[in-house]
Amino acid sequence: MLTSVIVYTLLAIALWLLGYHVNSREQKLCLTTGESALNGEKTRMPFYSWEILLAIFLVTVVIGFKWNVGDDFMMYYKSFDDLLKYGEFQNRENFEIGYYCVNKLISFTLCRPIFFFAVWTLAQASLFYFALRDRKFLLPWMGMLLILGPMNLNWLTFMRQWTISFMLMAAMPWVIERKPVPYFLMVLFAMTIHKSALLLALFYFAPLLVSENPHRWRYLVVFLLCVALGAYPIWFKAFTWIPDVVYWAGYERYDYLLEPLRNLEFHFYTWGPNHIASVLLSLVFIWYYPKLKTHFKDDKFLGVSFVLAFACVCFDNLVLNTNYIFRRPCDYLYVFQWVMLAYTMAYLKDKKQYFVLTALCILACVSTYVILYKCAYMHISDKMLYHFYFFQ
């Protein structure tokens, strides 16, 4: 556990410092030129600044060369190993064509399977930082949340979904500027990596739901209603067609998990520290959203991010006690919860509310340390503890 805590904490601190430094340099440059980059105007610092390149390098090395971290690690590892040995996947035949072609190209290098993870992590980190190139004031907080924030261990497990998630975040300018052709071409490409990416087509219409005068109590009531309905999802019995959708989305091997749900036998999550922290974090960014709209005025990325983050936390809590398969669509949207938390942290820093900011940072990161503690001392799993490939 100690190794995991040290690695994740040091990496998060390094990404925070690098993000803070590049943002400070940009702010000084803006003061010199009399221009502003606060509200997402054209950035004055290039995307390929040394701080961002170093951050991408650190994420690629530390996360890309992890060993047996995440439930799907060995499945992906063995699949790529089979591709190297036999030229085809052996243990699973229904991988999408785009994912297969990318892996086939990587296999031509004859590299070890671990380098396959490094390539995908490099792509993820590059998309992550490219998406934030015009909003460098978010970089310190987003870097921290990437490593220690809620659902970050989910990122370490579901490689394809999170690659698409970062693609979606990078494609937000097409959504905001109403450019359907490049956006839907991106959706089609994403579907060749994971067919469930068809859901991204719906997100193009997120700007239509942005309110110019948001009422926080309305959002809070809807969110708390979803939490209440998700506590005992008796309503699930009405949706008998859901297993067919699950099968089409590529999760047919999980069909056996749906049988208990047909009999209303639910898997209940306890109100432990992780669940409580998750609900509180949602309440925080919902509460602060009207203030964020005023502070970051004319920032259309904020409004769209809130719509997607709000949809994510509502749906996630609504299906929480059904089956984790139904939470998988949220894999594409968790990153926007990070975005909203990063906006909130940037706002608190600007307002010099350092006590609240510190409390929010602790609340955002606590779940990672709780999970690591459970893995080490309660033996719920050993798949989340960090191991470096070259030390095995």
Query: Which stretch of 94-98, 184-188, 191-195, 330-334 has the lowest confidence by average pLDDT?
Result: 94-98
What pLDDT is attached to residue 48?
84
Smallest CA-to-CA distance from 11 within 156, 164, 132 is with 156
Contact 174, 187 (CB under 8 A): no
Query: Which stretch of 165-174, 178-187, 195-204, 238-247 has the lowest confidence by average pLDDT?
Result: 238-247
What average pLDDT does the segment 138-150 reach? Answer: 94
More confident residue, 128 or 159: 128
State which residues form the domain around 20.
2-391
**Confidence band of 43 (pLDDT split at 50, 70, 90):** low
Is the predicted pLDDT of residue 362 greater than 80, yes or no?
yes
What pLDDT is attached to residue 40?
43
Is the predicted pLDDT of residue 389 greater than 80, yes or no?
no
Q: Biggest alpha carbon distance in the chain?
A: 66
**Confidence band of 70 (pLDDT split at 50, 70, 90):** confident
Is the predicted pLDDT of residue 45 greater than 70, yes or no?
yes
More confident residue, 217 or 256: 217
As given in the structure block, the two tokens for residue 59 are 């994420």
Is the predicted pLDDT of residue 349 greater than 90, yes or no?
yes
Task: Kindly give the residue spans of alpha helices, DSSP state H, lying in 247-376.
Answer: 259-262, 273-295, 300-318, 334-350, 354-373
Averaged pLDDT of the chain: 85
**Confidence band of 255 (pLDDT split at 50, 70, 90):** low
What pLDDT is attached to residue 39?
46
Q: Which long-range contacts (CB under 8 A, 24 or more apart) does 20-28 make?
A: 20/139, 20/140, 21/51, 22/49, 22/51, 22/52, 22/136, 22/139, 23/136, 23/137, 23/139, 23/140, 25/49, 25/51, 26/136, 27/137
What pLDDT is attached to residue 89?
74
In this predicted model, what pLDDT tens digit does every residue of 265-283 receive, in sequence order?
666 666 778 889 999 999 9
What pLDDT is attached to residue 158?
83
For residue 295, what are the contacts with CB-CB under 8 A and spacing of at least 6?
A: 347, 350
Smallest CA-to-CA distance from 117 within 331, 391, 389, 392 is with 389
Percentage of the chain beyond pLDDT 70 is 85
Query: Which stretch of 59-63, 153-157, 333-337 has the lowest confidence by average pLDDT?
Result: 153-157
More confident residue, 299 or 232: 299
Is the predicted pLDDT of residue 35 greater than 80, yes or no?
no
Tokens 């070890």 found at? 112
Q: What domain count does the chain have?
A: 1
Q: Give the type of residue at 343.
A: Y
How far is residue 228's CA from residue 207's CA, in Å, rounded to a whole number?
A: 27
In this predicted model, what pLDDT tens digit does every residue of 76-120 receive, in sequence order?
888 888 888 777 776 766 778 888 888 888 888 777 878 888 999
Task: Kindly give the residue spans of alpha helices, DSSP state H, lying in the chain.
Answer: 2-33, 50-64, 73-86, 97-107, 113-131, 139-148, 152-157, 159-170, 172-176, 180-191, 200-203, 216-231, 242-246, 259-262, 273-295, 300-318, 334-350, 354-373
Q: What is the pTM of this model?
A: 0.90
